[in-house]
Amino acid sequence: MLKDITIGQYFPGDTIVHKLDPRVKILITFVFIISLFFINKFYPYLLVLGFILTVIKLSKVPFKYVFKGLKPLRFIIIITFFINAFMTKGVELFSIGPLTVSEEGLYQAIFMALRLIFLIMGTSLLTLTTSPISLTDGIEKLLNPLKIIGLPAHELAMMMTIALRFIPTLLEETDKIMKAQMARGADFESGNILNRAKNLVPLLVPLFVNSFRRADELAMAMEARCYRGGEHRTRLNEIKMDKIDFIVITIMTIFFGILISTRYI
């Protein structure tokens, strides 16, 4: 059933990784991704692997959860690997038919695959250890300075929250409408692409109509609860930096400094 799909795969816990300020976690993830692309030798990846394993250990998230994030993206990783392997020109290693694999290509392919794998694991760790709410709070706070150039930080965060709140509701509704139309003989499973697209009309129209109705009612309910945008708003759980956050920032700055500098040694 559709509603069994889990979105925002948060793995609740009470560890140091969970308790870290979301802003710090988002920034670390961001810098982590950038530094992945700076690395051009193999041994720094051992450091990265060590880092990932340490975080997993500290967060007490079962290893298979972190690994699960790779599964839906395995084709992208494989395709990236082969494209890099075949498309990079250099000293020929071997060839299969018209396709040639060069030494540089093989290196490049392995680098890209490793980068992708670590990138996915890193971001998975962020969402696994940060609840959707603190994630949105963190993004809102980080984007706040950009308000000066007109970026609606609060509104974006509010949209994210509402989207997260309504995804399960809409999935459930999709399931129900599908069944109701199937009871009237609708067929969502056979025919060519064109027919299938056409057959979705009885599903999509009610879904849209109902979503607009929901949006309307939600807006009314929010207004009744004195919602008037981000100005003067306080929060139940204000996020604030602790001593531990500053310690983590210091350690991470050194770590990423070393990681990035390996490129130039």
The answer to whether 84 and 108 are in contact (CB under 8 A) is yes
- Per CB under 8 A, the list member of 202, 245, 249, 260 interacting with another protein is 202
Measured between alpha carbons, how far is 188 from 85 in angstroms, rounded to an integer?
Answer: 40
**Six-digit token string for 168:** 């399960």
Q: Per rule CB under 8 A, is residue 153 in the interface with another protein? A: no
The answer to whether 154 and 230 are in contact (CB under 8 A) is yes
Residue 148 CB, nearest approach to another protein (Å): 22
Residue 151 CB, nearest approach to another protein (Å): 21
The residue ranges of DSSP E strands in 20-107, in sequence order, are: 92-96, 99-102
DSSP classification of residue 102: E
- Per CB under 8 A, the list member of 13, 90, 132, 152 interacting with another protein is 132
Q: Per rule CB under 8 A, is residue 258 in the interface with another protein? A: no
Q: Per rule CB under 8 A, is residue 172 in the interface with another protein? A: yes
Q: Per rule CB under 8 A, is residue 168 in the interface with another protein? A: yes
Q: Per rule CB under 8 A, is residue 241 in the interface with another protein? A: no
Measured between alpha carbons, how far is 186 from 255 in angstroms, rounded to an integer?
Answer: 58
User: By C-beta, is 110 or 162 nearer to another protein?
Assistant: 162
The answer to whether 112 and 81 are in contact (CB under 8 A) is yes
User: By C-beta, is 76 or 220 nearer to another protein?
Assistant: 220
Residue 50 CB, nearest approach to another protein (Å): 32
Dihedral (CA of 77, 82, 83, 87) sign: positive
Residue 220 CB, nearest approach to another protein (Å): 6
Q: Per rule CB under 8 A, is residue 218 in the interface with another protein? A: yes
**Closest to 104 (Cα-Cα) out of 116, 117, 93, 118:** 93
For another protein, the binding residues (CB under 8 A) are 1, 4, 131-133, 161-162, 164-165, 168-169, 172-173, 176-177, 179-187, 201-202, 205-206, 209-210, 213-214, 217-218, 220-228, 232-238
